């Protein structure tokens, strides 16, 4: 895929988007309708996979095949890899002691998982490893973590885009970014939770980034927002104007440096991912030459002669 800015949502299965993304006509294939508006989507449904040392859930063949068949050739699926690969320990139950996860950064599990994705191989975007906050009970240090990750990364299949998200704020340092660049891995920025703002991290480490960057937008209070909206993800309920505005310059800089930049917006960021994308689209247009980007909120955006241009 050409260098540019590719923007989509985190998942697509929201009936409340009828009228925004979906027509609501009986029998409509929602992923196909989604792909008519956006050029990419993040699949996170396969992340929740670890249910015990001997129980790892894998994608169902019928799901992978149907997703791949529902979208055009240029569409891309970003995939959050299974937590069975990224959790150092099984999830504790009832205050019990931590039990090591035998599948942590397992090359065998990765091969099995990737074989499940084979029907959509030609439509894969970033493949993301999300690591939660790792304390010293889980792993001794950042150095020990990078040593394990490095051994795993050395065996990653070629020809695909691999990204790493770490939720240890103190680990977003020069060591982390050098490690990723040396191995051709993308950094996955997190806008939300307890992580430092994307703009702040980008300003410090822009020169150390490789050719691909990923931004995931989640907001600060997932549970609180869910209580407020129920299942009505059709409107903005917590506007984050300052955060959106702060993202414009890093994204514009990525474009100017001809990076392949991906942004995935979650409903939990403001209450409605499609409307957040439209708001970001308008801010990006205003930061360019003032001309409106295409009315569709998807597609690829590029910087031409200093001005942001959109193509569908």
Q: Give the CATH number of the domain where residue 89 resides.
A: 3.20.20.410
Residue 29: the pLDDT is 78
> 307 in a domain, yes or no?
no
Three-class DSSP category at 188: strand
> 286 in a domain, yes or no?
no
Find out whether 276 and 266 touch, Cβ atoms under 8 Å: no
Residue 195: the pLDDT is 97
Cα 225 off chain centre by:
20
Q: How far apart are CA 216 and CA 7, in angstroms?
A: 10
In terms of C-beta density within 10 A (0-12 exposed, 13-18 middle, 19 or more buried), how is residue 197 classed?
Answer: middle
Q: How far apart are CA 124 and CA 160, in angstroms?
A: 8
pTM of the predicted protein model: 0.92
Residue 300: the pLDDT is 55
End-to-end alpha-carbon separation of the chain, Å? 13
> 56 in a domain, yes or no?
yes
> pLDDT tens digits, the chain, 312 residues: what are they?
567 999 999 999 999 999 999 999 877 779 999 999 999 999 999 999 999 888 999 999 999 999 999 999 999 999 999 999 999 999 887 767 899 999 999 999 999 999 999 999 999 999 999 999 999 999 999 999 999 999 999 999 999 999 999 999 999 999 999 999 999 999 999 999 999 999 999 999 999 999 999 999 998 888 899 999 998 999 999 999 999 999 999 999 999 999 999 999 999 999 999 999 999 999 999 987 433 343 333 555 544 444 444 433
> 262 in a domain, yes or no?
yes
> 191 in a domain, yes or no?
yes
> 175 in a domain, yes or no?
yes
Nearest residue to 67 via CA among 48, 43, 47: 43
> 303 in a domain, yes or no?
no
Cα dihedral across residues 188, 194, 200, 205: positive or negative: negative
Residue 312: the pLDDT is 31
Upper half-sphere CA count for residue 51 (Cβ side, 13 Å):
7
Q: How far apart are CA 65 and CA 63, in angstroms?
A: 5
Host domain of residue 85: 4-272
> 288 in a domain, yes or no?
no
Overall number of domains in the chain: 1
Find out whether 39 and 299 touch, Cβ atoms under 8 Å: yes
Residue 92: the pLDDT is 81
Q: How far apart are CA 159 and CA 33, in angstroms?
A: 29
Residues whose CB falls within 8 Å of the CB of residue 210, separated by 6 or more in sequence, listed in order: 180, 181, 184, 185, 186, 187
């Amino acid at each position: 895929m050409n260098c540019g800015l590719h923007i989509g949502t985190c998942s697509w299965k929201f009936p409340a988007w009828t009228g925004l993304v979906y027509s609501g006509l009986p029998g409509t294939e929602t992923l196909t309708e989604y792909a008519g508006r956006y050029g990419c989507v993040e699949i996170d449904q396969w992340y929740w996979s670890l249910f015990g040392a001997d129980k790892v859930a894998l994608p169902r063949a019928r799901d992978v095949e149907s997703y791949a068949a529902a979208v055009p050739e240029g569409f891309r699926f970003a995939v959050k890899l299974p937590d069975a690969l990224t959790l150092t320990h099984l999830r504790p139950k009832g205050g019990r002691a931590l039990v090591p996860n035998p599948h942590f950064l397992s090359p065998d599990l990765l091969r099995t998982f990737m074989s499940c994705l084979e029907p959509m191989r030609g439509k894969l975007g970033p493949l993301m490893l999300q690591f939660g906050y790792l304390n010293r009970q889980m792993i001794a240090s950042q150095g020990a973590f990078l040593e394990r990750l490095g051994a795993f990364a050395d065996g990653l299949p070629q020809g695909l885009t691999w990204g790493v998200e770490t939720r240890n704020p103190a680990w977003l340092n020069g060591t982390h970014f050098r490690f990723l660049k040396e191995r051709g891995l993308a950094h996955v920025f997190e806008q939300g939770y307890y992580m430092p703002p994307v703009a702040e991290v980008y300003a410090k480490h822009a020169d150390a980034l490789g050719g691909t960057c990923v931004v995931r937008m989640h907001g600060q209070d997932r549970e609180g927002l869910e209580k407020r909206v129920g299942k009505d993800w059709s409107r903005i309920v917590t506007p984050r104007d300052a955060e959106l505005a702060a993202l414009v310059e890093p994204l514009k800089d990525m474009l100017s440096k001809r990076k392949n930049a991906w942004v995935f917006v979650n409903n939990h960021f403001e209450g409605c991912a499609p409307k957040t994308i439209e708001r970001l689209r308008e801010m990006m247009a205003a930061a360019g030459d003032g001309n409106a980007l295409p009315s569709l909120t998807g597609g690829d955006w590029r910087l031409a002669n200093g001005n942001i241009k959109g193509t569908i």
